[in-house]
Amino acid sequence: MDKMPTTRQQKGIKVVKGQVRSYNRGNTANYELQKNLLMNKPKVPFDKEVAITLKVYFIYGTKDKKKWGKRKTTRPDGDNLMKGFQDYMQLYRYFIDDAQIAPLIVDRFWGQNNKIIVELFKTDDTLIMF
């Protein structure tokens, strides 16, 4: 990925007719992530429990290669990254409701390139990876 997905906190907020609405500021629509999710979506949404493992690699300059592969403990938070990701997965019918996700594991690392690795497990332990 050239650009990492943005979290809800990076989106704009406005009030329309007394209701708070979030909107995509410039370059926060996550088009590359949405395209990858659409290309890999299942033919039929999962109707039972789904386990998700998400590994996110953030680019770190080549001057300090020692950090590559080490855990990232700075922002954005893992739960903020995952919420937008879950919303897109539900929108593209990976599952019926994100309440079906149990367990959920999010790991963040420094890396040479921006990259997201997703593993989905159905209740029968079938691995689907993209």
For residue 76, the SS3 value is coil
For domain 8-37+48-129, give the fold: 60s Ribosomal Protein L30; Chain: A; (3.30.1330)
Give the domain ranges of the chain: 8-37+48-129
- State mean pLDDT over 102-114: 90
- State mean pLDDT over 75-89: 85
How far, rounded to the nearest angstrom, does the alpha carbon of residue 113 sit from its chain's CA centroid?
A: 16
- How sure is the predictor about 93, in pLDDT bands with cuts at 50, 70 and 90? very high
Q: Residues with Cβ < 8 Å from 46, sequence gap 6 or more?
A: 94, 95, 96, 100, 120, 122
- Inter-residue contact 120 to 128 (CB < 8 Å): yes
Alpha-helical (H) ranges within the chain are: 31-39, 78-91
Q: Is the pLDDT of residue 127 over 80?
A: no
pLDDT at 102: 87
Q: How far apart are CA 47 and CA 73, in angstroms?
A: 34
Helix and strand tally (H, E) in the chain?
2, 6
Q: pLDDT tens, 1-50?
A: 565 665 555 566 778 888 877 666 655 567 888 888 999 999 999 888 99
- State mean pLDDT over 55-76: 83
Residue with tokens 């039972």: 48
pTM above 0.95, yes or no: no
φ, ψ of residue 121 to 5 degrees: the values are -120, 125
